[in-house]
Chain A
Amino acid sequence: MISRRYALIAGALALVAIATPALAQGAVAAQYRWLTFAVFGVIISITMYVTYLAAKRVKNVADFYAAGGGVSGLQNGWAIAGDYLSAASFLGIAGLISLYGYDGFMYSVGWLVAYITVLLVIAEPCRNIGKYTLSDILAYRNNPRAARIVGALSTITVSTFYLTAQMVGGGVLVKTLIGIDYEISVMVVGVLMLAYVLFGGMVATTWVQIIKAILLVTASIMLVILVWTPYGFSLPAFLTAVIGDADVQAQVALLLGDAGKNMSPTELGQRFLEPGLLFKAPIDQISLGMALVFGTAGMPHILMRFFTVPTAQDARKSVIWAMAIIGGFYVLTLFLGMGSAMHVGAVKIKSIDAGGNMAGPLLAQYLGGGPESMLGNLFLAFVAAVAFATIVAVVAGLVLAAASAMAHDLYVGVIREDHVTQEEQVRAARIATVIVGAMAITIGILSKGQNVAHLVALAFAVASSANFPCVLLTLFWKRCNTGGIVLGMIVGTLTAIGLVLVSPNLTYPLAVKAAQEKIVAAESAKLTKFQGDLTAAVEAPAQDKLKADIAKSEKAKAAAEAKIKEIGSDRTSIVGLEKPAFDLRNPGLISIPLGFLAVILGSLLYRDKRSEDMWDELYVRQNTGLLLAKPTAH
């Protein structure tokens, strides 16, 4: 088959690109970089082989979008975990725990609780009435054309936000870890992902997720065993060591500033296990929590996973497995983060990546014997390769979701009104995949250097404010109809995006300028003091220390001045505001209720006979699975 040969060529190209000599310096020492490439090569080869096998099984459109409904509950559970444990949650949460202790751990809880919503109200009904996409569910009893258009647009919006964050995050990550150029990293991620999706469709995407999730969990268990063994697997003994560590105490002192001045080292250490080091605004926390617990259930690439299993029972089983894997992983992350805070230290973690994303990988390096050792670098290489596989796999899932919205909903459903042959549908799916993939690579490269961390939060905000109310109410509320779906999607999406655009997430030049001016003033005051001290100092060591201090202050002052100059005469953020018009970083608290309200109002104000007539059918089917199509035999 031609397509299989192309899959191999694409894989070989990706390998060559990865093996291109790296230019910049990464976390992996230069003499051990070959080790990283070797581990990368092995993992990519395995996934490519799986794609090759999968390509043989993709015969029709059901295979491409939903793996022919032939995935088992256990397999799907691992795949959901693979989809969900993106670089943001896998590297990000360990990083937050390593820098902020308790608050980081508290943050991880919402990501698990989210699956309760998925389990109770989404997974089984979606399996029973859905086919390939989120819009299939919306179109069931509502005007199919209207429902498909708003559903597809929302799917593409959510996926693009998430995709951009993953591409940029992935590019930065690979550069930080092994020093490959940003642009090359983004392209390698893009080409590999395209190879998986294009040739293997959902079959390959599922298996890549499973392989990656197993690698991730194995690596984490291994590291936790290493970090916990010295303390006899006792939680109090381990945490006693963490809070007794000078690095941890210094980090808490730094975070507390003046408030921590009168605290003893023991008190500072204990403070690491108490809330409040990261989250200062409780309302914002609750808002983020809402976006997580309702947004996950509205994520198109997560919803899509339930169409790959044959029955509602398997859908249920897969969520239970996913919850066990994801929850277990976050508990492991507690040890990784705390271990990293103690063994690596916040200063070193932040020196490589300010957001703390390198906490896990650096802990791996330490546990293997440190930066100079072969084993330490092998560990680091392994974790780096898993992180890379994570990004490729998550991006593959997202691209498949966006491509299915484009091809299945917009092209086949709306433009061609379902008069399409199987061959044409598969071709449309592949073309859409290439379009979305090319778009992802382009956006990834164009967004170089942009702050994209808030894009993940934005994706969850749209999913929870638009997709979730629409899906939930069309499944469970008899009166819900086309008017509600259309209004809910529009209001939910626009308020979520609109509120973020006027929130503190954006850069406000005046605020940045004021902060930098403060630094300049503080450093200038310090300089005057140091210079006075210098003339008074008589001993050589004291003079040397002061000279070093002066040099440091001058450097900090110059950096702040450069930033002020860079801002120049800019006064407003990209939407033209001098300061945030909305105080919350996470819009969920406002936009989720508004989304629900819009669906309800839209439904009440609009008459739609079809939505009413179809209610009995939808409700009976979503509860019983009657007439559920049997999986295609392979």
Chain B
Amino acid sequence: MVDTSQVDWKAIDSRPEFQELHRRKMGFLWGLMVFSMFYYFLLPIGAAYFQDLYKIKVWGPVNVGILFALSEFVVAWALAFWYAKRANAEFDPMAAEIVRDAEKYMGGKK
């Protein structure tokens, strides 16, 4: 079991570094989340109400509907990749610094 009582969590929470991490991360996360839901639900809604659009053939028998469905995969992968890239490059180092500082305050006790 880890003992969490020796850390002043309120102090960490109110530090500008943590607030900055929180602000950047939440904006990015919820933006991605809303966009991915919007893009996903467009597929069944379109299939129900815009069938004529889905039926337009663009590449031999391949129609807009099939390309749209395939694009869902590409978009999901792209969003995941984008998130991972930004988290690795930006959020992880910020979090690591906060952890380093906090451990210093705790006097290396762990």
Interface residues of A in 299-338 (CB under 8 A from B): 313, 316-317, 319-320, 323-324, 327, 330-331
- Across the interface, which residues of A come within 8 angstroms of B47, CB to CB? 102-103, 106, 275-276, 279, 282, 285
Establish whether residues B54 and A274, one from each chain, have CB atoms under 8 Å apart when the complex forms: yes
Evaluate contact between B65 and A102: CB separation under 8 angstroms: yes
Q: How far is B32's CA from A617's CA once the two chains are assembled, in angstroms? A: 26
> Which of B22, B60, B98 is packed against the most chain A CB atoms within 10 Å?
B60
Inter-chain contacts of A293 with B (CB < 8 A): 37, 40
Q: Please judge, given known A-B contacts A619-B13, A624-B99, whether A243 and B61 are in contact too, CB under 8 Å.
A: yes
Q: Give, as a whole number of angstroms, the nearest-CB distance from B36 to chain A.
A: 4
A627 → B minimal CB distance (Å): 5
- Cα separation A120 to B62 with both chains bound (whole Å): 33
The residue that B33 contacts in the complex, of A110, A117, A323, A619, with Cβ under 8 A, is A117
Q: Please tell me the size bucket of the interface on A.
A: 35 or more
Tell me which residues from 234 to 272 in chain A have a Cβ below 8 Å from any Cβ of chain B: 235-237, 239-240, 243, 269-270
Determine how close the nearest CB of chain B comes to the CB of A225; give it in whole angstroms. 19
The docked-state distance in angstroms from the alpha carbon of A416 to that of B85 is 44
Closest A residue to B47 using CB positions: A275
Given A240-B61, A331-B73, A623-B95: A282 in contact with B45 (beta carbons within 8 A): yes
A120 to B2, CA, bound (A): 26
A113-B45 contact, Cβ under 8 Å, with A120-B33, A236-B60, A237-B60: no
Query: When A and B form their complex, what is the total count of cross-chain residue pairs whose Cβ atoms lie within 8 Å?
Result: 155
Whether B87 contacts A316 by the Cβ 8 Å rule is yes
Distance (whole angstroms) from the CB of B32 to the closest CB of chain A:
6
- Tell me if A324 and B77 are in contact (CB < 8 A): yes
B50-64 at interface with A (beta carbon < 8 Å):
51, 54-55, 57, 59-63
Complex Cα distance A327/B80, Å?
12
Contact partner of A625 (CB less than 8 A), chosen from B13, B29, B99, is B99
Min Cβ gap A62→B in Å is 11
Taking a contact as CB atoms under 8 Å apart, the answer to whether B48 and A113 are in contact is no
Which positions 19-43 of chain B face chain A at CB distance < 8 Å? 21-22, 25, 29, 32-33, 36-37, 40-41, 43
Query: Of residues 605 to 620 in A, which have CB atoms within 8 Å of B's CB atoms?
Result: 616-617, 619-620
Known: A616-B10, A616-B13, A623-B21. Is A289-B59 also a contact (CB below 8 A)? no
The answer, among B59, B73, B98, for a CB contact under 8 Å with A624, is: B98
Interface flag for A162 (CB, 8 Å): no
Q: Which of A113, A327, A620 has most chain B Cβ within 10 Å?
A: A620
- Given A274-B51, A616-B10, does the pair A112, B60 have CB atoms closer than 8 Å? no
Question: How far in angstroms is the closest Cβ of chain B from A13?
Answer: 40
CA distance A330 to B59 in the complex (A): 21
B51 touches A121 (CB 8 A): no
Chain A residues whose CB sits within 8 angstroms of the CB of B88 once the complex forms: 313
Given the interface pairs A117-B33, A320-B80, the reply to whether A102 lies near B73 with Cβ below 8 Å is no
When the two chains form their complex, are residues A106 and B69 in contact, meaning their CB atoms are under 8 A apart? yes
| Residues in B whose Cβ lies below 8 Å from that of A628 | 2
| B interface: dominant SS | helix
Which of the listed residues A236, A279, A324, A629 has the most CB atoms from chain B within 10 Å of its own CB? A236
Q: Compute how far the CA of A117 lies from the CA of B79 in the bound complex, rounded to whole angstroms.
A: 11
Interface magnitude class on chain B: 35 or more
- Among residues of B, the one whose C-beta sits closest to the C-beta of A239 is B61
Contact (Cβ within 8 A) A316 B65: no
> Which residues of A lie under 8 Å from residue B102 when comparing CB positions?
624, 626
Partner of B69, one of A109, A121, A279: A109
Output the least CB separation between A416 and chain B (Å). 15
Contact of B41 with A109 in the complex, beta carbons under 8 Å:
no
Most A CB contacts (10 A, CB to CB) among B9, B41, B81 go to: B9
Name the distance in Å between A219's Cβ and chain B's nearest Cβ: 20
Q: In the complex where A289-B40, A331-B70, A623-B25 touch, is A116 in contact with B59 (Cβ < 8 A)?
A: no
A515 to B72, CA, bound (A): 39
- Residue of B48, B69, B92 touching A313 (CB-CB under 8 A): B92
Contact A285 B44 (CB under 8 A): yes
Q: Which residues of A contact B110 (CB under 8 A)?
A: 627
CB within 8 Å for A286 and B41 given contacts A113-B76, A239-B62, A624-B99: yes
* A112 contact from B9, B10, B33, B73, Cβ within 8 A: B73
Contact A119 B55 (CB under 8 A): no
A282 to B47, CA, bound (A): 8
Please name 15 further chain A to chain B contacts, defined as beta carbons within 8 Å, in addition to the given A236-B62, A623-B21, sorted by A numbering. Answer: A113-B36, A113-B76, A115-B80, A119-B83, A273-B62, A273-B63, A274-B55, A279-B48, A285-B47, A286-B44, A616-B12, A617-B4, A620-B98, A626-B99, A627-B2
Which 8 pairs of residues, A with B, have the shortest CB-CB distance?
A236-B60, A282-B48, A275-B47, A616-B9, A617-B9, A616-B13, A624-B95, A285-B44
Q: Name B residues whose Cβ lies closer than 8 Å to a Cβ of A.
A: 2, 4, 7, 9-10, 12-13, 18, 21-22, 25, 29, 32-33, 36-37, 40-41, 43-45, 47-49, 51, 54-55, 57, 59-63, 65-66, 69-70, 72-73, 76-77, 79-81, 83-84, 87-88, 92, 95, 98-99, 102, 110
Can you list 16 A-B contacts with CB-CB less than 8 angstroms, sorted by A residue number? A120-B36, A273-B65, A275-B54, A276-B47, A282-B47, A286-B45, A616-B10, A620-B9, A620-B12, A620-B18, A624-B18, A624-B98, A625-B95, A626-B7, A626-B102, A627-B110
